[in-house]
């Protein structure tokens, strides 16, 4: 007989064991303040499995033949899945007005435009991108494919269903909801027209080899995901993105996220309302690291000056060139002759060049990713 719900408490040692297990598996980091919320979220699992303690639960995850499946159940409850349609819509405007036109000018996205929403939660980001693509007429000129992936199976199932309640529409223009959703029994169902552009799959972003199922893409949205990962995991994920992006492809992060201290392999691109990252179209230029470090500071400065709060990753600090850039100097004039010492773990320009080479496989379909079902 299992103990009463509330009696099952997580000890600091049990918290440490579980936290490290989750961190190893998918990079999520939990500070000491997360102990009680982990207790609250996982207690149900301990009870359902008829276990006596979080120590037993840890042992189950590690050694039971169903431990792997249980880990997925745990991830469903410990991940933060907050999302809604048209979140951070200045990036969606940029997609339509600046990013796709830049790709087209560069000779890309002619026959097909592939976009990956990495960490898509319940799918609102994917369908928002699809609405923008439809509205902008992108789908008339080319085949548009938007892939959504998440580590939470519950989220992927919900994304495929495409049925949403009012809170998902908190900032959605009413005409968009009317055009792309059908109301049935108090919930809004994504129309087949939108579904046809979208596919969803289960993916741990730390699993670089499985990420290959995404194929090569023109644009990656990974917003409000990296903030939950520790620094080594962010680096791994960004390396995977570099690998998956076609040369000249774009990476968009959330407003509080940046590549400072994570990677120097990308170029920073100034847009009207944002600064985003681009995989260099050709070989990486030598000395890219200095301008990029400085440009990062410009990104930080310009984002905060537009009133959007910005949080640097833990431990992030600006180097002198970056500070000068933030103070108004043109970072592109930063001397290239004496590059600063690489930050520990930062990708070198040689790493970048190797990744460019490795990324020469052609785009291909994503067999593991499925279209949302229209019969729900």
Ligand X SMILES: C[S@@+](CC[C@H](N)C(=O)[O-])C[C@H]1O[C@@H](n2cnc3c(N)ncnc32)[C@H](O)[C@@H]1O
Beta bridge partners of 184: 187
148 sits in which H/E element: strand 143-150
Q: Phi/psi at 330 (nearest 5 deg)?
A: -75, 110
Q: For residue 368, how many other CB atoms are within 10 A of its CB?
A: 13
Q: What is the Cα gyration radius of the chain?
A: 22
Give the residue with the Cβ less far from ligand X, 79 or 263. Answer: 79
Name residues contacting ligand X, limited to 45-84 (CB under 6 A): 79-83
Name residues contacting ligand X, limited to 23-42 (CB under 6 A): 26-28
Residue 121 CB, nearest approach to ligand X (Å): 4
Per DSSP, 95 falls in state: I
Site string for ligand X, 247-286 (x = CB under 6 A): -------x--------------------------------
The CA distance from 130 to 135, in Å, is 9
Residue 73 CB, nearest approach to ligand X (Å): 13
Give the residue with the Cβ less far from ligand X, 114 or 240. Answer: 240
Binding of residue 155 to ligand X (CB under 6 A): yes
Residue 186 CB, nearest approach to ligand X (Å): 23
Residue 253 CB, nearest approach to ligand X (Å): 10
The CA distance from 192 to 213, in Å, is 24
Binding of residue 234 to ligand X (CB under 6 A): no
Q: Are strands 267-270 and 275-278 parallel, antiparallel or unpaired?
A: antiparallel
Residue 281 CB, nearest approach to ligand X (Å): 26
Binding of residue 100 to ligand X (CB under 6 A): no
Of residues 150, 243, 267, 274, which one binds ligand X by CB under 6 A? 150
Give the residue with the Cβ less far from ligand X, 97 or 256. Answer: 256
For ligand X, how many residues bind (rule: CB under 6 A)? 26
Of residues 126, 133, 205, 326, which one binds ligand X by CB under 6 A? 205
Per DSSP, 197 falls in state: T
Give the residue with the Cβ less far from ligand X, 237 or 297. Answer: 237
Binding of residue 216 to ligand X (CB under 6 A): no
Beta bridge partners of 207: none
Coil, strand or helix: which one is 118? strand
Binding of residue 232 to ligand X (CB under 6 A): no
Binding of residue 120 to ligand X (CB under 6 A): yes
Q: Please, which residues have CB within 8 angstroms of residue 161's CB and are 6 or more apart in sequence?
A: 372, 373, 376
Give the residue with the Cβ less far from ligand X, 22 or 57. Answer: 22
DSSP per-residue string spanning 315-361: T----HHHHHHHTT--GGGS-SSSPPPPPTTPPPHHHHHHHHHHT-S
The CA distance from 59 to 157, in Å, is 28
Q: Let me know: does 222 contact 252? Beta carbons within 8 Å.
A: yes
Name the segment binding ligand X (CB under 6 A); options: 130-138, 159-167, 220-228, 358-366: 220-228
Binding of residue 123 to ligand X (CB under 6 A): no
Binding of residue 151 to ligand X (CB under 6 A): yes
Residue 288 CB, nearest approach to ligand X (Å): 28
Give the count of alpha carbons within 13 A of 15, CB side only.
18
Coil, strand or helix: which one is 64? coil
Q: Contact positions toward ligand X, by CB under 6 A?
A: 26-28, 79-83, 87, 119-121, 125, 150-152, 155, 203-206, 223-225, 228, 254
């Amino acid at each position: 007989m299992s103990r009463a719900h509330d009696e099952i408490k997580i000890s600091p040692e049990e918290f440490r064991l579980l936290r490290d297990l989750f961190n190893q598996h998918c990079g999520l980091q939990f500070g000491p303040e997360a102990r009680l919320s982990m207790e609250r979220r996982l207690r149900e699992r301990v009870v359902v499995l008829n276990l006596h303690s979080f120590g037993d639960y840890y042992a189950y995850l590690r050694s039971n033949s169903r431990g792997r499946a249980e880990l997925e159940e745990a991830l469903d409850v410990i991940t933060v899945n907050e999302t809604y349609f048209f979140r951070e819509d200045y990036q969606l405007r940029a997609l339509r007005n600046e990013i796709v036109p830049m790709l087209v000018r560069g000779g890309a996205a002619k026959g097909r435009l592939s976009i990956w929403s990495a960490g898509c939660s319940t799918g609102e980001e994917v369908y928002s991108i699809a609405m923008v693509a439809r509205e902008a007429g992108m789908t008339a000129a080319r085949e548009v494919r938007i892939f959504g992936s998440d580590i939470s199976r519950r989220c992927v199932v919900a994304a495929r269903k495409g049925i949403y309640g009012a809170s998902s529409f908190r900032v959605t223009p009413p005409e968009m909801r009317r055009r792309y959703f059908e109301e049935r029994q108090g919930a809004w169902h994504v129309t087949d027209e939108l579904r046809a552009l979208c596919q969803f799959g289960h993916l741990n972003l730390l699993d670089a080899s499985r990420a290959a199922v995404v194929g090569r893409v023109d644009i990656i949205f990974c917003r409000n995901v990296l903030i939950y990962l520790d620094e080594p995991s962010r680096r791994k994920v960004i390396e995977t993105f570099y690998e998956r992006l076609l040369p000249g492809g774009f990476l968009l992060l959330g407003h509080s996220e940046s590549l400072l201290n994570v990677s120097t392999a990308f170029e920073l691109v100034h847009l009207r309302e944002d600064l985003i990252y681009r995989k260099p179209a050709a070989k990486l230029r030598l000395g890219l690291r200095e301008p990029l470090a400085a440009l990062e500071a410009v990104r930080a400065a310009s984002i905060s000056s537009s009133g959007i709060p910005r949080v640097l990753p833990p431990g992030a600090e600006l180097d002198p060139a970056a500070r000068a850039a933030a103070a108004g100097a043109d970072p592109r004039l930063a001397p290239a002759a004496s590059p600063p010492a690489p930050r520990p773990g930062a990708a070198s320009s040689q790493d970048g060049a190797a990744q460019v080479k490795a990324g020469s496989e052609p785009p291909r379909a994503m067999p593991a990713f499925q279209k949302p079902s229209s019969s729900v």
